[in-house]
Structure 1
Amino acid sequence: MSDSKVVFLDVDGTITTYENVIPESAKRAIRTARANGHKVLMCTGRSKAENPPELTEIGFDGMVGGNGSYVEVDDQVIMHVHIDAGQCRHIVDWCHERGLEFYLESNNGLFASERFREAARPVLQLYMGRKGVENADQLETDDVMHGMVYDGELYRDDVNKVSFVLSSYQDYLDAIEEFSDMKVGTWGGAGELALFGDVATKDIDKAVAVHKAVEALGTDMADTIAMGDAKVDIPMFEACATSVCMGSGGEEAKAAADFVTTDVDKDGLWNAFSHLGLV
């Protein structure tokens, strides 16, 4: 075990608020920790194209993207597991047949289906409203989703994950059956309240990716810290030596973490970094 730590940070709800605002104290925490010799990496469900300049300009030592399908350390790609072209075509055709709007998450952009912008607007307004965002009912799809590409090619070989708007919970249950060779999940709410389904490659999660990143850095898992706010972060919590959940996080994530810091918009990141002796 060394004095230098490797910190894996979820993005949405951890570095940024649910309105995509990055608290100044979060930027300061990351920059100060790196100046003190610690490594800080994003570990997010986002694909690279979803990161706005304000986020990347903070400065990171790497990125785990697509909930573990992509690992980059010091500008070198360590691992990138795509949905293959055949699987992508299968998912796109299935969504089209069911009349479900969707987007393909790639490091080159978020490629939306024909009517995604209109279909997703009320769903994303509900999603942001549940997170307590003010005037959520005024938001447009592009206010919530960074990096959307419309009229792009949908049969692709560079896709990390596909998300689709659920018309009902049955869409998710049918997707599990249809894509039995893949990992099918939901987001935007628990159980029947889920708003989106998603499809990704099997056997990929944030824990697998964290191990790959640590190996590439030549450090030890005993020196790792994970911070997040959601159920999808639990594998990362379990993989790392120390885990922290945001005060604004979900109950399952809080229960799985070693300790809970304050809310993301109440200096949660800075307070956690301070508690851990990183700043």
Structure 2
Amino acid sequence: MRKIIFLDVDGTLVDYNNHLPESAKYAIQKARENGHLVYACTGRSRAEMPEFIWDIGLDGMIGGNGSYVEHHGQVVMHQLIPEDEARRIVDWLHERGLEFYLESNNGLFASEHFKEAARPVLRQYALGKGKTEKEVADQEAEDVLHGIVYGGNLYRDDLNKVSFILKSIDDHEASKLAFPDLKAGTWGGVGETALFGDLGVKDITKAHAIDVLLSYLKADRKDTIAFGDAKVDIPMLDYCEVGVAMGNGGAEILAMADLVTAAVDDDGLYKAFETLKLI
């Protein structure tokens, strides 16, 4: 029976150096040969999806943590931050002295001093994901954020999300008050240790986007399998018939998953595809 498979990208399909295990590539290609559908389901916008991921062979993607849905090149849903709200976010971040990048399907548009400000923050983020000091010593923002654009127009009408470097957790709390009609979150750590804040379309989740795609495909939820490693992936693992957590995942997702596989760089995706008889 055909299954519909949803794969988080960072920490699931690729590691936090953006490395794709050959075993994962093989597993996806073999599963698709067997008639299953495979989608990326990620916080990334389309511009952040490098060609080597598309070259695996995918049936589409859910991006922006659920704001964008694509099937075989056809846009099924795309919910954007309203243009007036997007302009207000940029002005608010400038007034607060926060560096940021604007996430769209056309690129990640960085603020004036983001490159310099992001360097130590993204290195700290990589260290928190198990990388060594030597591995991150020369790392730049563009090594982590595929599709980053410097010097681009910051007043835009094509935004899925906005991410900004936190000076403290107070910036996140302030963003919730300043933009009550948007969804405010954090990433790169928990609570006080969060490195980034973000703002996106309210009431959007990966689970909601999967529901939209299933309606479009006229498919049944009982045939779905989701893979993830982070707290943001929990709603989609909970929504799908089978939820698989990567061995490198956080404690919360490991506790709620139906199946825990090996880490992304220990052939975790391939091993789970085997266990679930997808290949």
Give the TM-score range, shorter chain: over 0.9
Q: Within the alignment, does 1:205 sit opposite 2:205 as a pair?
A: yes
2:65 partner SS: helix
**Aligned counterpart, 1:89:** 87
Structure 1 contact 40–61 (Cα < 8 Å) conserved: yes
- Counterpart pick for 1:75 among 55, 58, 73: 73
Q: Within the alignment, does 1:267 sit opposite 2:272 as a pair?
A: no
CA offset digits 1:158-209 (Å, max 9, x no partner): 0000000001111011111111111000000011000000000101000110
Q: Within the alignment, does 1:54 sit opposite 2:52 as a pair?
A: yes
How does the TM-score come out when normalised to structure 1? 0.98
C-alpha distance in structure 2 between counterparts of 1:48 and 1:108, whole Å: 7
C-alpha distance in structure 2 between counterparts of 1:30 and 1:86, whole Å: 41
1:67 partner SS: coil
C-alpha distance in structure 1 between counterparts of 2:16 and 2:251, whole Å: 17
**Aligned counterpart, 2:228:** 228
Structure 2 unpaired stretches of 5+: none
> How does 1:173-184 map onto structure 2 within 5 Å?
173-184=173-184
**Aligned counterpart, 1:217:** 217
C-alpha distance in structure 1 between counterparts of 2:224 and 2:249, whole Å: 20
1:219 partner SS: coil
RMSD of aligned C-alpha atoms? Answer: 0.7
Shift of 1:137: 3.0
C-alpha distance in structure 2 between counterparts of 1:261 and 1:235, whole Å: 18
How does the TM-score come out when normalised to structure 2? 0.98
**Aligned counterpart, 2:112:** 114
**Aligned counterpart, 1:128:** 126
> How does 1:112-191 map onto structure 2 within 5 Å?
112-134=110-132, 135-191=135-191
**Aligned counterpart, 1:17:** 15
Of residues 128-137 and 160-169 in structure 1, the stretch that sits farther from structure 2 once superposed is 128-137
> How does 1:32-51 map onto structure 2 within 5 Å?
32-51=30-49
Shift of 1:230: 0.3
C-alpha distance in structure 2 between counterparts of 1:198 and 1:17, whole Å: 22
C-alpha distance in structure 2 between counterparts of 1:130 and 1:18, whole Å: 10
C-alpha distance in structure 2 between counterparts of 1:209 and 1:51, whole Å: 18
Shift of 1:138: 2.3
2:94 partner SS: helix
Q: How many residues align?
A: 277
1:100 partner SS: coil
C-alpha distance in structure 1 between counterparts of 2:138 and 2:149, whole Å: 21
Q: Within the alignment, does 1:26 sit opposite 2:27 as a pair?
A: no
Structure 1 contact 73–216 (Cα < 8 Å) conserved: no
Amino acid at match of 1:45: G
Structure 1 contact 69–79 (Cα < 8 Å) conserved: yes
Amino acid at match of 2:169: Y
Shift of 1:144: 1.0
C-alpha distance in structure 2 between counterparts of 1:191 and 1:178, whole Å: 19
Amino acid at match of 1:190: V
**Aligned counterpart, 1:104:** 102
CA offset digits 1:134-159 (Å, max 9, x no partner): 32232111111110011111111100
Shift of 1:62: 1.1
CA offset digits 1:30-51 (Å, max 9, x no partner): 0000000000000000000001
Structure 1 unpaired stretches of 5+: none
Percent of pairs identical after alignment? Answer: 58
CA offset digits 1:189-247 (Å, max 9, x no partner): 01100000000010100011001111222211010000000000011011100000000
Amino acid at match of 1:150: Y
C-alpha distance in structure 1 between counterparts of 2:113 and 2:165, whole Å: 11
